[in-house]
Amino acid sequence: MLKAINNELSSKYQLEKMMDLKNGPTQIGTMVTVAAPEVTEVLAAAGFDWLFIDGEHGALGVSEVQSILISAGRDIDCLVRVAGIESVMIQQALDLGAAGIIVPQVNTAAEAARVVDSCRYPPEGSRGTGLARAHGYGSRFDEYISTANQQVSVVIQAEHFQAADNIEEIVQVPGVDCIFIGPYDLSASFNKAGQINDIEVVAAMEKIERVCQANQMPLGIFGVQPESLKKYVQRHYALVAVGVDMLFLGGAAKDCLVRVRDERESQ
């Protein structure tokens, strides 16, 4: 009986390999910022390839992130953006069963190496061991420990002019799977917040893209409007995230209201 239960848990909480970032097609995702399981279920059912769970700017704690991961199910990859490069936050996100992590404000090769170290079990890194959802709550501990170093995806964000300055060294760090460009924070680092089409900001983004492509490093980017992301799909970016859960809700609600209000006023 115990063996049967363990086998069932092992299957239920199995962590699948993250999408092939180097050779696969562009993976289209969207951002999750609220801890409502129904929202996650709706977005997962919509057909997105992956979910960008925002633990940096969203009001999400550890338990909320776990609830989102459970709601998403096993048929969609989930990357959790942690609040910083501290190892505790990274390891907690991975222990919850995320397919990978997105780490903001990684500006140097040393910081990128620190992130990778936190994601890898010894001897490749210093990630601590425990019994959590990723391990099937213990039922698949050995399996997870033996495969996680190869399965977990490490995505770092280049969203500061210092990251652009150091991008040649950053892409050489072993274990980094993708560079995710953050246009808005990048613009803010030039004291031009929101001016993502400014010449300095565009030049920095182009440098990051050029260096990554020259080194066969997959790229990712986020945008609110689908039209703004077409060029990145055409350039074969590995990860594209479009839209935010609350913007979808607000936009659809406003659109419905305007349509009905216009009809009322036409009477």
Q: Which pLDDT score is estimated for 19?
A: 64
Active-site residue list = 57
Find, among 208, 233, 6, 241, the residue nearest to 102 by Cα.
241
In whole angstroms, give the CA distance from residue 238 to residue 26: 5
Buried b (16+ CB within 10 A) or exposed e, 3-13: eeeeeebbeeb
Q: Which pLDDT score is estimated for 262?
A: 82
- Which tokens in the block code for residue 111? 């910081």
- Is 74 exposed, middle or buried (CB count within 10 Å of its CB: 0-12, 13-18, 19+)? middle
155: which strand partners?
102, 178
- Which tokens in the block code for residue 155? 């995505």
Task: Specify the long-range contacts of residues 220-226, CB closer than 8 Å, at least 24 apart.
Answer: 220/155, 220/178, 220/179, 220/180, 220/181, 221/180, 221/181, 221/183, 222/31, 222/52, 222/180, 222/182, 222/183, 223/183
Q: Which pLDDT score is estimated for 20?
A: 78
Q: Which pLDDT score is estimated for 8?
A: 45
- Domains of the chain by start residue, with CATH: 2-266 (3.20.20.60)
The model's pTM: 0.90
Tens-level pLDDT at each residue, the chain (267 residues): 434 434 444 444 444 445 678 888 999 999 999 999 999 999 999 999 999 999 999 889 999 999 999 999 888 999 999 999 999 999 999 999 999 999 999 999 999 999 999 999 999 999 999 999 999 999 999 999 999 999 999 999 999 999 999 999 999 999 999 999 999 999 999 999 999 999 999 999 999 999 999 999 999 999 999 999 999 999 999 999 999 999 999 999 999 999 999 878 787
For strands 100-103 and 153-158, give the pairing.
Answer: parallel
Residues 6+ apart with CB under 8 A from 48: 28, 29, 30, 76
